[in-house]
Amino acid sequence: MKPVDLTLNRLEPVPTSWNSDMLKGMMISSELIQKRVGELADEIDRSMPDDKPVVVLSLLSGAFLFTADLVRHWRFSFELDFMGVSSYGKNVASGELSWTHPMQIDLKEKHVLVIDDILDTGQTLRKVTDKLHLSQPASLRTCVLLRKERQQPSEHSVDADFVGFFIPDQFVVGYGLDFALQFRQLPFIGVLDAHVTHTAND
């Protein structure tokens, strides 16, 4: 099943109970997220090898809701772990990652699935997968809910194996994604109003 392409879609109004003058509109409703998460979970389930142990590795903080919803679909056995990673300077080739929480599990000879909320420049997933390959997993695949359409893979980035939605290049928040550590709890994906990002960039 192909990722849902929302790159040409118009925004919907933000649900009344979540209305905020910081949000320009809603890009993906809670219902559509849950439908697509179910499809992705089935797709991953069907393709998961059963010859070796499986590790699901969720990247904190943004992937916490996506991970929680995905894993509740699965009946196969797996170890679940979390790795804290935060990026800064992501618009330059030398953007640094800081590791904010170490994983606990040994990945050697295991099938590893990395879950993240969004692939923007692709640098985070690239650096994470480079690091994880050092642990010699049996296989290493990646799953993101959102992938920005503008991003083409380069030597500094990596593409994802499983993608929920292709989205336009806008500042999105909600369902785990934040702006200044806020908005992570929204059950939908919203778009931040331009006046907020401009103010923050001043």
Active site residues: 120
Supply the minimum distance, in Å, between the C-beta of residue 124 and ligand PRP: 3
**Binding positions for ligand PRP, 110-129, rule CB under 6 A:** 116-124
Binding of ligand PRP by 132 (CB under 6 A): no
Which member of 59, 163, 191, 196 binds ligand PRP (CB under 6 A)? Answer: 59
Question: What gap in Å lies between CA 37 and CA 34, rounded to an integer?
Answer: 5
- Contact map string, positions 60 to 79, toward ligand PRP, x by CB under 6 A: -xx-----------------
Which member of 178, 187, 193, 197 binds ligand PRP (CB under 6 A)? Answer: 178
Binding of ligand PRP by 197 (CB under 6 A): no
Q: Is 198 helix (H, G, I), strand (E, B) or coil?
A: helix
Residue whose pair of structure tokens reads 């999105």 in the numeric block: 172
Which member of 20, 29, 30, 87 binds ligand PRP (CB under 6 A)? Answer: 87
Closest CA to 56 of 39, 69, 71: 71
Torsion, Cα of 88, 194, 31, 162 (10° steps): -40
Please say which residue, 88 or 195, places its beta carbon nearer to ligand PRP: 88
Alpha-carbon distances, residue 146 vs 60, 134, 168, 170 (angstroms): 15, 26, 10, 12
Q: Is 36 helix (H, G, I), strand (E, B) or coil?
A: helix
Interface contacts to ligand PRP, rule CB under 6 A: 59, 61-62, 86-87, 90, 116-124, 178
